[in-house]
Structure 1
Amino acid sequence: MTRLFNDPARFTDDMIEGFAAAHPEHVRAVPGGVVRARPTRAGKVAVLTGGGSGHYPAFCGVVGPGFADGSVIGDVFTSPSAARARSVAEAAEAGGGVLFLFGNYAGDVMNFGLAARQLEGDGIPARCFAVTDDIASAPAGQTARRRGIAGGFVVFKTASAAAEAGAALDEVVRVAEHTNARTRTLGVAFDGCTLPGADAPLFTVPEGRLGLGLGIHGEPGVSEDTLGTAEDLARALVTGLLADRPAGTDAGGRVAVVLNGLGATKYEELYVLWGAVARLLDEAGLIPVRPEVGELVTSLDMAGCSLTLTWLDEELERLWLAPADTPAFRRTAPREPAADQAAAR
């Protein structure tokens, strides 16, 4: 249950105020969300993440050098308005245009699309991209209908790194599209989440069961199954993702991996699960590259987790490993082999 709030109707506004006060070195609050504390260089593409609140660290927690330039924040599990999106874009825009990145939900597609058209009318190049990584929400032949869940983190990271490196707007969009096409996610819920001020969760899962294919806005899974061991769950997640491997990728190879907790699953549990996942990936001939295990795209207090695989090529691996410094995610530059050898002596 979400216990700490003042007026439930002001939960998001109060959260933004506290978030900006806690991280003044990274962000400043603007109408509609947050942007980087210090302006980016002239001509850089402004990459903006966005969606409803309730998903921290997504979306505002990844604003900072190497990652997003700003975040458009709606009410809990509610698409931000076009006015909010336009406000944040105008505060973050530095002359290189704007890219809105968000999950594939009708409200987000509509409102961010409207904001982009309004910005274009004002002479600011603006594009939108909706992430579609959730394999449970539509069959393989209908990937454009799929929801965006935790795999959006990888898409946001690579697109942001491309923009940080100086790529033009069309090139940053291409990177987002390329990453999304090679990204697959499958999630499970053990129990539902409760909105601020509500006295009951949005859904429940029977004891000893799990919901397979959950959403991140309080949507239950698309089916139920028995909750077995961590090994059983790891096998179900890995098998499901490998069965939906993107066309044109190798059966083996290098992958970005995100084992994501949804808000109420303890890190110790995630590491037990990761041990099994890592063994199964190794058996499949897949090499995890800087895997992330923890809470990156949550759903308030939902108990559950998701597994994301992104099949990397040389370009995507470089962007996945690029440095970033944000309130919720920090990555230093990869160590050179010579430095590793020197440290070992």
Structure 2
Amino acid sequence: MSYVLNDPADFADESAAGFVAAHRTLVRRVTGGVARATATPAGQVAVVIGGGSGHYPAFAGLVGAGLAHAAAMGNVFASPSAQQIYSAAKSVATDAGVLFTYGNYAGDVLNFDQAEKRLNDEGIPCHTVRVTDDIYSASPAEHTKRRGIAGDLAVFRAAAWAAEQGMSLDEVVEFTSRANSRVRSLGVAFSGCTLPGASGPLFTVPAGQMAVGMGIHGEPGIDVVPLPTANEIAARLVAGLLEEVPHDISPAGARAAVIVNGLGAVKSEELFIIYAGVEKLLTDAGITVVEPEVGEYATSFEMAGISLTLFWLDDQFEEAWSSPSYTPAYRKGVVAPTSKTPESIRESTSSELPEAIPAASAESAAAGPIAQAVIAAIRDMIERDADELGRLDAIAGDGDHGIGMQRGTRAAAAAADLAVAGGAGTGTVLIRAGDAWADKAGGTSGALWGAALRAAGERIGDERAPSASDVSDAVTAACASIKSYGKAEVGDKTMVDALVPFAETLVSQVTAGESLSAAWTVAASEATRAADATTDMLPRMGRARPHMEKSLGTPDPGAISLARAMTVAGHVLAITTKN
């Protein structure tokens, strides 16, 4: 658990502030995260990494010469928002472009992809390489679905080295992708971890047992086995990785970088015992170990666990792995000094000035408070149910759904209040609320709710008071946006399982001539039925997918929160609408 905190909601921001204060000669605070204290050399591709907080030294601690140019920093175990990623990238981008590289988690993918599109639309070339080193998170046949854990370090090192050699963006992407294809990791855990302010761990491991295949967001292991000796742990990790050697590598005579990573509570002395066993087994297999790293590189708060990473080297990858680096948390060799970032932009932490509120018709502005009241009702419901939603999410996920929804709905409600106070039309109220939700919540749910509200707002617009038909069309647009961004379909055990029946029922009821309030009530009831029905489903997407059996018998938290949100929204509409 976290012993040192003020308000749990401020944990990530306060930690980031202290981190920058402690390392001002190496990093600077920028909107959305941190960046090198030195300027990106002209013509050099900027490598931007990122992810949720709670994994130090990933990600902020790996910003510096020989590693990343910037890191976008999300809340605890939640991806940074698209706005945070975009802002962090803009702070270091050059004409040569930007490479995004990060662990392959659904929320990160959604938000980094949106930021990538925005950069490209602005004429800043940007591409992505996702780290997929965790062999237990998906089968070899589905390797693109694998998540990233401590192998991040090897891939980030390769990307940074390629950038600093002056390679073009396409060349950096190709080199980094090849590096990722040669990295494999496997982890074990002896206990779970607890989010700041939470009353209990995300998962537990029975005394005398060990979980195999856990994730760094508190995802429980796939298998639970009796706790072995250190040498037996080393043997299990090595054997698992040697069963997954890249097809173009012959272990005998190969050279490999090795990372023995502590997940938070395992002491260095214990890690060295594991490494001794690992090195002997690899040497016996004819593999030469190159510059091993033993320590903490991707943690999960106080989780007691270990992961082993092998990075299969060729001449270039070995040069990249052995090259100098100097960051707050990772230092190797000697790095030549470079020019400082101009003082005028060193502390660029303030957000852009808010856009002026677009002109709206009197009818649309008069309807804006209804949208405001709906969002406030959703916020109040989440405040009440956040702990329950977190517990549902912790069964097979990372347990942060309630916290993320809290952050998102609070920000959305505040943005809606400001928009209404400024005379905004209904569409703008929804758009401002959605953008704030996505920015402050981060994660998968933040990105999806933000996209949905923006799509709904754009469809409704600010020209007139929305009719029942306008609202049903807006809900259809929101549904399409979520399906487009999230790639989920009905049956995947996600929020889509509740959203699609809600949208279809609402359209059907409105088309049949029902009032908006009556149609919404029927649709919300159908969403609740569909959300409850996810209890008997197996997840096919997201972090719960590798633990699908564990989630059987528990409804999807995203579907439940959506159904409850639609229900309380219906209560508001019953009071405030007449059509």
TM-score scaled by length of structure 1: 0.95
Cα deviation, residue 286, structure 1: 0.8
1:211 aligned partner: 211
Cα deviation, residue 260, structure 1: 0.2
1:239 aligned partner: 239
Q: Contact (CA 8 Å) 1:321, 1:333: kept in 2 or not?
A: no
User: Where does 1:1-345 land on structure 2 (aligned, <5 Å)?
Assistant: 1-252=1-252, 253-332=254-333
Larger Rg: 2
Q: Contact (CA 8 Å) 1:260, 1:306: kept in 2 or not?
A: yes
Counterpart Cα distance in 2 of 1:93 and 1:144: 27
Amino acid at match of 1:162: A
Counterpart Cα distance in 2 of 1:38 and 1:136: 38
Gaps of 5+ in 2: 336-579
Counterpart Cα distance in 2 of 1:152 and 1:38: 23
3-state DSSP of counterpart to 1:307: strand
Amino acid at match of 1:145: K
Cα deviation, residue 95, structure 1: 2.0
Counterpart Cα distance in 2 of 1:65 and 1:251: 32
Amino acid at match of 1:151: G
More helix by percentage: 2
Counterpart Cα distance in 2 of 1:147 and 1:66: 24
Amino acid at match of 2:286: G
Amino acid at match of 1:215: G
Moved over 6 A (4+): none
Residue deviations 1:102-141, cap 9 Å, x none?
A: 1111111111011000000111001111111000011122
Cα deviation, residue 31, structure 1: 1.2
Identify which of structures 1 and 2 has the higher relative contact order when contacts are C-alpha pairs closer than 8 Å and 6+ apart: 1
Counterpart Cα distance in 2 of 1:158 and 1:9: 35
Q: Contact (CA 8 Å) 1:69, 1:92: kept in 2 or not?
A: yes
Amino acid at match of 1:117: K
Counterpart Cα distance in 2 of 1:41 and 1:95: 10
3-state DSSP of counterpart to 2:136: helix
Counterpart Cα distance in 2 of 1:66 and 1:111: 25
3-state DSSP of counterpart to 1:290: strand
Counterpart Cα distance in 2 of 1:228 and 1:121: 53
Amino acid at match of 1:287: T
Q: Contact (CA 8 Å) 1:67, 1:164: kept in 2 or not?
A: no
Cα deviation, residue 333, structure 1: 5.4
Sequence identity percentage: 52
3-state DSSP of counterpart to 2:74: strand
3-state DSSP of counterpart to 1:236: helix
Cα deviation, residue 94, structure 1: 2.2
Cα deviation, residue 250, structure 1: 1.5
3-state DSSP of counterpart to 2:17: helix
Amino acid at match of 2:145: R
Residue deviations 1:205-255, cap 9 Å, x none?
A: 001111100100010001111111000100000000001111101222100
Alpha-carbon RMSD:
1.0
Amino acid at match of 1:198: A
Q: Contact (CA 8 Å) 1:46, 1:92: kept in 2 or not?
A: yes
Counterpart Cα distance in 1 of 2:17 and 2:39: 20
* Count, aligned residues: 334
3-state DSSP of counterpart to 1:268: helix
3-state DSSP of counterpart to 2:56: coil
Cα deviation, residue 166, structure 1: 1.1
Counterpart Cα distance in 1 of 2:107 and 2:16: 21
Amino acid at match of 2:112: F
Amino acid at match of 1:168: S
3-state DSSP of counterpart to 2:311: strand
Task: Please say which of residues 34-43 and 229-238 is displaced more in the overlay.
Answer: 34-43
Amino acid at match of 2:314: D
